[in-house]
Chain A
Amino acid sequence: MSLAPAIELRAVHKTYQLGAHVVKALQGVDLTLQRGELLALTGPSGSGKSTILNLCGLIDLADAGDILLNGVNIKLYNETQKTLQRRDTIGFIFQSFNLVPVMTVAENVDYPLFLTGVPAAERRERVAAQLKAVGLHEHAQHLPDALSGGQRQRVAIARALIKRPSLVIADEPTASLDSHTADQVLDLMRERGHAEGVAFIIASHDNRLTSRSDRIVSLLDGRLQ
């Protein structure tokens, strides 16, 4: 039995109203991302990369077209169900890490499991294992402010992967990092994604991503090239 794609976009359109102007962010985009696949989304600023990520992450609505998450059209979901889908099946990695500064590294990683109501003992084990996998187990009780940019992004990766999602959305994950650290982070995402069968969709200007991704998709003026 073959699994449904992690995410599938069918003829998706999206426009934004900016004052008196209508901006066509996406114009009939078709895109399929299989589980375990690492897709690089490239293109100049304003090409629609972030819009695709927002739609795939169920935090924005398409004007037209269909989006299928694990084979289910998200039009069938109400707001609460979308929130639960994000909680259970989608991980997020942000350019500026977006860790909760008052939580320790372990608590940040634990948060998605806490939301899903996983028992405390299992959470402890999974957090420890995930931190070990990203090489931060010695920093478990540190606050994010005590970590370097690369370490913080690794915490964000651990946080995105701890709930074993089918899809991880990463928006410019290396933009705030130096080149050496960016290499490490990209390698880590690729390694963890393949190891755990998680689909990654990564929007980036970073050329190093192209050599590490399974597929590259370029966007220009809201259309796939």
Chain B
Amino acid sequence: MKLSWLKFAFYNTLRNRRRSGITVVIAALGTAAILLAGGFAYSTYEGLAQISARSTGHLIIGKPQHFTSDQDVPLQYGLENAAALQSKLLTDPAVRYVLPRIEYSGLISNGDKSTIMMAVGIDPDAEFSVKGPTLTLKEGELLQTESAEAEIVLGEALARSLKAKPGSSLTLMASTTDGALNAVDVTVKGLVSTGVPDLDKRLVYSNIKTAQKLLNTQRISSLGVFLNSMDATLPAQARLEKTFPELTVQNWLEQAFFYKSVRDLYNRIFGALGAIISVIVVFVVANAMAMAIIERTREVGTLRAMGTLPGQLIRSFSFEGMILGGTGALVGAALAITIALLLTIFPVQMPPPPGRSSGYPLLITIDVAMYAITVFMMIALSMLSSALIARKTLRQPIVDALAHN
């Protein structure tokens, strides 16, 4: 029998079950839409962050000018004694791999046709192991660190342009560090795809030795440092900056221009979407409460005549809003979780985004903080809108409210 404002509010939500049901359903769908859109954005951010980190390393170490200045000749600001630096870096407990890289450009030719290449000299075994799903072998084999031969893998579009296949002989041409033109004959080991057609038209991977031979140097461009986890990035960056004050240590985010652009864009799109859906939900709850309050005008007058303080009635109506909005938000959260889990069991493939050749699985991240904030906001907005509607109604004189039919 014990009466409480919450119990009274709960009773009141059951008066017009159909209207309450519709309000809860709309609040649930709105909440689910916000959480699914947010989860998709989070999933995209996580995916792009992984791609960025796999592409450059969690940390990139080079000479300061490497990051700030244009080079007059290749590897003008490259690192010397890379092996010693590599060994020292590997002593850090958070460091998993340290990958040397030489970024260079030049021409690649099959004898009949020459075209521009964007090449990267790498330590193949480690580099390809960290690339993971961001690089797909289409034909042939990947490079191997121990191989004595001058070998390359090509982007599949570049290979098509040069009519090259695994086993084909090609020539790489580039300016040396002295400014002279140099050429190296190489054998195509395999064809790969990054999923970005424009990149695949220019991409060449060679091993470090081949690149150094072509550029006539012992330097490398930079070292990519791969850590045990993404979370270790900032602490490791701080440690390495202290250990190597003469070098610049950048983290993956500083080089992830695409990631930052997508995040900015998605934040705005999904932020606006969330705001619109929230406004709709608030209007629906407010409308339901307004109808309920108008229907109960005489009853409200009676309760006020009996000595119920306006604040108590506002509290009661806020609780009604809380029950409607809160139930909707919780049902919506459950719906979003269910859909997110179902997508892991029954994958849905998304079409390739602009500028890419391959699609990606639709994944929805279940982020506890996002769920908590969304549910809290839904409840708070529902309570606030109900309170505002009730407050306005309570300005009516009691005598008029009692005379209401």
Chain A residues at the B interface, C-beta cutoff of 8 Å: 54, 57, 59-60, 80, 83-88, 90, 92, 94, 98, 100-104, 106-107, 110-112, 114-115, 120, 124, 127, 140-141, 159
Cβ–Cβ < 8 Å partners of B14 in chain A:
102
Q: Is A103 a contact partner of B308 (Cβ separation < 8 A)?
A: no
The docked-state distance in angstroms from the alpha carbon of A88 to that of B3 is 18
Residues from 23 to 72 in B contacting A, C-beta threshold 8 Å = none
CB of B230 closer than 8 Å to a CB of A: no
The docked-state distance in angstroms from the alpha carbon of A102 to that of B399 is 23
The docked-state distance in angstroms from the alpha carbon of A120 to that of B4 is 11
Cβ–Cβ < 8 Å partners of B305 in chain A:
57, 59, 86, 92
**Contact indicator per residue, chain B 299-310, by CB within 8 Å of chain A (1) or not (0):** 100111111111
The docked-state distance in angstroms from the alpha carbon of A65 to that of B393 is 30
CB of B177 closer than 8 Å to a CB of A: no
Known: A59-B399, A83-B304, A86-B307. 8 other contacts (CB 8 A): A84-B307, A87-B308, A88-B307, A98-B302, A100-B303, A102-B12, A103-B3, A115-B306
Closest 3 CB pairs of A and B: A87-B307, A102-B11, A59-B398
Q: List 28 A-B pairs, Cβ < 8 Å.
A: A59-B304, A59-B397, A60-B399, A80-B309, A83-B307, A83-B309, A83-B310, A84-B307, A85-B307, A86-B306, A88-B307, A92-B305, A94-B302, A98-B298, A98-B299, A98-B302, A100-B299, A102-B8, A102-B11, A102-B14, A106-B1, A110-B1, A111-B303, A111-B306, A112-B306, A114-B4, A120-B2, A127-B1
**Which chain A residue lies CB-closest to B11?**
A102
CB of B312 closer than 8 Å to a CB of A: yes
Nearest chain A CB to B211's CB is how many angstroms away? Answer: 80
Q: Is A54 a contact partner of B11 (Cβ separation < 8 A)?
A: no
**Contact indicator per residue, chain B 374-388, by CB within 8 Å of chain A (1) or not (0):** 000000000000000
CB of B392 closer than 8 Å to a CB of A: no
A contacts with B: majority SS: helix
The docked-state distance in angstroms from the alpha carbon of A57 to that of B308 is 14
Cβ–Cβ < 8 Å partners of B8 in chain A:
102-103
**Which chain A residue lies CB-closest to B310?**
A83
The docked-state distance in angstroms from the alpha carbon of A60 to that of B304 is 12
The docked-state distance in angstroms from the alpha carbon of A84 to that of B304 is 10
Q: Is B299 a contact partner of A54 (Cβ separation < 8 A)?
A: no
The docked-state distance in angstroms from the alpha carbon of A135 to that of B399 is 31
The docked-state distance in angstroms from the alpha carbon of A18 to that of B249 is 82
Q: Is B398 a contact partner of A92 (Cβ separation < 8 A)?
A: no
Q: Is B15 a contact partner of A102 (Cβ separation < 8 A)?
A: yes
CB of B402 closer than 8 Å to a CB of A: yes
Q: Is B399 a contact partner of A107 (Cβ separation < 8 A)?
A: no
Nearest chain A CB to B399's CB is how many angstroms away? Answer: 5
Nearest chain B CB to A61's CB is how many angstroms away? Answer: 9
Chain B residues at the A interface, C-beta cutoff of 8 Å: 1-4, 8, 11-12, 14-15, 298-299, 302-310, 312, 397-399, 402
Cβ–Cβ < 8 Å partners of B308 in chain A:
83, 87, 115
The docked-state distance in angstroms from the alpha carbon of A87 to that of B3 is 17
The docked-state distance in angstroms from the alpha carbon of A90 to that of B302 is 13
Cβ–Cβ < 8 Å partners of A107 in chain B:
1, 3
The docked-state distance in angstroms from the alpha carbon of A83 to that of B313 is 13
Nearest chain A CB to B306's CB is how many angstroms away? Answer: 6
Q: Is B1 a contact partner of A104 (Cβ separation < 8 A)?
A: yes
The docked-state distance in angstroms from the alpha carbon of A59 to that of B227 is 73
Cβ–Cβ < 8 Å partners of A114 in chain B:
3-4
Cβ–Cβ < 8 Å partners of B299 in chain A:
98, 100
Nearest chain B CB to A109's CB is how many angstroms away? Answer: 10
Cβ–Cβ < 8 Å partners of B306 in chain A:
86-87, 92, 111-112, 115, 159
Nearest chain B CB to A60's CB is how many angstroms away? Answer: 5
Nearest chain A CB to B286's CB is how many angstroms away? Answer: 21
Given the interface contacts A83-B304, A84-B307, A92-B306, does A54 sit within 8 Å of B399 by beta carbon? Answer: yes
The docked-state distance in angstroms from the alpha carbon of A92 to that of B299 is 13
Cβ–Cβ < 8 Å partners of A101 in chain B:
15
Nearest chain A CB to B149's CB is how many angstroms away? Answer: 85
**Which chain B residue lies CB-closest to A114?**
B3
Cβ–Cβ < 8 Å partners of A141 in chain B:
1
Q: Is A124 a contact partner of B1 (Cβ separation < 8 A)?
A: yes
Cβ–Cβ < 8 Å partners of A94 in chain B:
302, 402
Nearest chain B CB to A166's CB is how many angstroms away? Answer: 14
The docked-state distance in angstroms from the alpha carbon of A127 to that of B312 is 22
Given the interface contacts A92-B305, A92-B306, does A115 sit within 8 Å of B11 by beta carbon? Answer: no
Cβ–Cβ < 8 Å partners of B15 in chain A:
101-102
Q: Is B3 a contact partner of A111 (Cβ separation < 8 A)?
A: yes
